[in-house]
């Protein structure tokens, strides 16, 4: 069993409890910048809002590498506030009405709310059109939110020992892994660009522009992936506690076999458990990296996660630590693919 890092868990808790739906990543970006500033050679924010940190200078045997983990989370945006102060909304990213009912939300201006639902007819399924946000306002003029205001789900971080539960493990768990791997890389022949991207949940937008600017020779996305280990769940060979998942394909891209083999060999060298991931649906920043400019060998290091895109996503503490070890090992050595 991997030793649990208190630093890793503390960073993760800080990240998941900071709001940042797609397009509103300024608070989470500032937290990440403060955490990594003393561990990198250069740090900047690009025009779209991606935080990009450079570490190392390319030497013989090294490559220009892009590591991308997205900072945004799914959320909601207000479309209308009625005379009684109830707000209607649209989704930001993939949000199911089934995970909304009774949920609590936090707006970027600090306003809190709870998601209510209209009465349903017999056998009627809940839909987003039947839901509303109650902020406690008694009228439209009394409301502290308006059209265009954005919120994320509000749930506390729960440390269950081996399992960790919070909203926005997608993708703050991967951000935590990238941060700790960044700190762990002391010497390298590579020029590494750690990209903490924006707006992944609405179309990989940040990674597209960041990859064009960085122009990497090889790239790895770090993201979560679903599991096949729950009762009557999806059938896939990924489970919590069985190690990092090395992506083979998802619906957005096929990982470069050379990158897959590179990651597998590093896991074997370190004696780390690992899984191969074939995801039927879903995409990551790896697709954006792969298609930039004339094309880039790209892959994805995935963190097994249950209940993705719900307010209570679950990861395994050992999987996280193994992901840090694998990523740091990959980046500390020369790359031959």
Kindly report the pTM of this predicted structure: 0.94
What value does the mean pLDDT take over residues 197-220?
97
**CA 289 – CA 298 distance, rounded (Å):** 7
Kindly indicate the confidence band of residue 5, based on its pLDDT and cuts at 50, 70 and 90.
low
Q: What is the structure's pLDDT at 314?
A: 98
Judge contact between 8 and 320, C-beta under 8 A: yes
Give catalytic residues, as residue numbers: 200
Q: How many helices (H) and strands (E) does the chain have?
A: 7, 17
Judge contact between 194 and 36, C-beta under 8 A: yes
- Ordered DSSP codes for 85-116: S-EEEEEESS--GGGTTT-EEEETTS-EEEEE
Tens of pLDDT, residue by residue over 320-333, are 999 999 999 999 99
> At residue 268, does pLDDT exceed 60?
yes
Domain covering 75-151 in this structure, CATH number: 2.40.30.40
Q: What is the structure's pLDDT at 2?
A: 43
Q: What is the structure's pLDDT at 123?
A: 83
Mean pLDDT of the chain: 95
Query: Distances from the Cα of 210 to the Cαs of 53, 55, 202, 214, 215, in angstroms?
Result: 11, 16, 16, 6, 8
> At residue 1, does pLDDT exceed 60?
no
CATH level 2 (architecture), domain 6-73+167-332: 3-Layer(aba) Sandwich (3.40)
> At residue 4, does pLDDT exceed 80?
no
> At residue 215, does pLDDT exceed 60?
yes
**CA 267 – CA 127 distance, rounded (Å):** 44
Q: What is the structure's pLDDT at 3?
A: 43
| Residue range(s) of every CATH 3.40.630.10 domain in the chain | 6-73+167-332
| Residue range(s) of every CATH 2.40.30.40 domain in the chain | 75-151
**CA 113 – CA 86 distance, rounded (Å):** 10
- Among left, alpha and beta (phi > 0; psi -120 to 50; other), residue 225 is beta
Tens of pLDDT, residue by residue over 59-111, are 998 999 999 999 999 999 999 999 999 999 999 999 999 999 999 999 999 99
| Among 201, 183, 10, CA closest to 93 | 201
Strand order of the β-sheet with 163-166 is: 158-159, 163-166, 313-316
What value does the mean pLDDT take over residues 201-221?
97
Determine the length of the chain.
Answer: 337
> At residue 234, does pLDDT exceed 90?
no
Report which of residues 122 and 16 the model is more confident about. Answer: 16
């Amino acid at each position: 069993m991997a030793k649990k890092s208190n630093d890793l868990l503390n960073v993760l808790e800080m990240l998941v409890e900071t709001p940042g739906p797609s397009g509103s990543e300024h608070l989470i970006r500032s937290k990440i910048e403060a955490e990594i500033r003393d561990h990198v050679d250069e740090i900047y924010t690009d025009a779209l809002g991606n935080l990009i940190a450079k570490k190392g200078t390319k030497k013989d045997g090294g490559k220009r590498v892009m590591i991308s983990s997205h900072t945004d989370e799914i959320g909601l945006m207000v479309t209308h506030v009625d005379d009684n102060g109830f707000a209607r909304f649209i989704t930001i990213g993939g949000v199911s009405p089934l995970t909304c009912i009774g949920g609590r939300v936090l707006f970027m201006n600090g306003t809190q709310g709870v998601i209510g639902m209209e009465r349903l007819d017999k056998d009627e399924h809940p839909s987003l059109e039947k839901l509303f946000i109650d902020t406690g306002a008694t009228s439209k003029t009394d409301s502290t939110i308006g059209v265009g205001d954005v919120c994320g789900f509000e749930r506390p971080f729960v440390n269950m020992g081996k399992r960790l539960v919070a909203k926005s493990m997608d993708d703050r768990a991967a951000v935590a892994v990238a941060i700790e791997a960044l700190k762990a890389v002391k010497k390298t022949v590579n020029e590494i660009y750690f990209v903490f991207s924006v707006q992944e949940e609405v179309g990989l937008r940040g990674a597209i522009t960041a990859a064009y600017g960085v122009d990497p020779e090889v790239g790895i996305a770090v993201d979560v992936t679903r599991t096949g280990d729950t009762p009557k769940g999806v059938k896939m060979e990924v489970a919590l506690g069985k190690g990092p998942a090395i992506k083979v394909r998802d619906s957005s891209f096929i990982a470069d076999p050379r990158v897959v083999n590179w990651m597998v060999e590093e896991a074997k060298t370190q004696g780390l458990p690992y899984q191969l991931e074939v995801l039927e649906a879903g995409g990551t920043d790896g697709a954006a990296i792969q298609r930039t400019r004339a094309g880039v060998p790209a892959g994805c290091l995935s963190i097994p996660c249950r209940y993705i895109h719900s307010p209570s996503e679950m990861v395994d503490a050992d999987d996280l630590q193994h992901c840090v070890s694998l990523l740091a090992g990959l980046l500390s050595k020369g790359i031959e693919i």
